[in-house]
Amino acid sequence: MDELRKDIRFADFGRVDCPALSPIPGVLSDVSEGGLKATFPVPVEIDMSDMKKDEFELSVRLSSFGSVSLDLLAIPVWVFNNNSGGNSSTQIGFSLLPAKDFGTYSEYIKKMDESAAIDDEQAQRLLNDVVNEILPEETSCQIL
């Protein structure tokens, strides 16, 4: 099944602190312009039935930022509690609200998007070079 998402997601790694949800930090696994996904190594209970969702303050330490944390304001959009294999964990998808460090976070996502585009262009050039070396000059080919 295809996922319908407004924003492109990027794999990333980091730490997510949200004392209002869990005394133990969560692990950041992906980011997008509008939100992020974190996994907490403990069960986390959030009432998702309420139409007015609670806002949570997140302190997010992105892998490429070192020890610098971004203070973000977020609303949980979905929650998945995993209780398999004797281990309990909770994945939470957060939608981000404009707050203190949201501008810095947005710039980080833009840089990731630019970096991905450069990587795609470099990969396409490399693939074209390989194909041009393999195929005789008189052979035409279009790579999609």
pLDDT tens string 17-55: 999 999 999 999 889 989 999 999 998 988 887 766 789
Tokens 């964990």, located at residue: 89
Residue 1: pLDDT band with limits 50, 70, 90:
very low
Average pLDDT, rounded, for the chain: 80
pTM: 0.74
| Average pLDDT estimate for 127-141 | 55
How much is the pLDDT for 67? 74
E-strand ranges in the chain read: 10-17, 26-31, 35-40, 56-62, 70-82, 89-97
Q: Is 20 within 8 Å of 42 (Cβ atoms)?
A: no
Burial class (CB in 10 A: 0-12, 13-18, 19+), 32: buried
Q: Which fold has domain 10-132?
A: Thrombin, subunit H (2.40.10)
More confident position, 38 or 3: 38
Distances (CA, A) of 13 to 27, 38, 39, 83, 87: 7, 10, 11, 23, 21
Tokens coding 7 = 């924003």
Taking Cα atoms as reference points, which of 71, 61, 80 lies closest to residue 16?
A: 61
Alpha-carbon distance of 46 to 69, in angstroms, equals 24
How much is the pLDDT for 12? 83
Alpha-carbon distance of 70 to 118, in angstroms, equals 26
pLDDT digits over 72-89, tens only?
999 999 999 888 777 789
How much is the pLDDT for 7? 75
pLDDT over 70 for what percent of the chain? 73
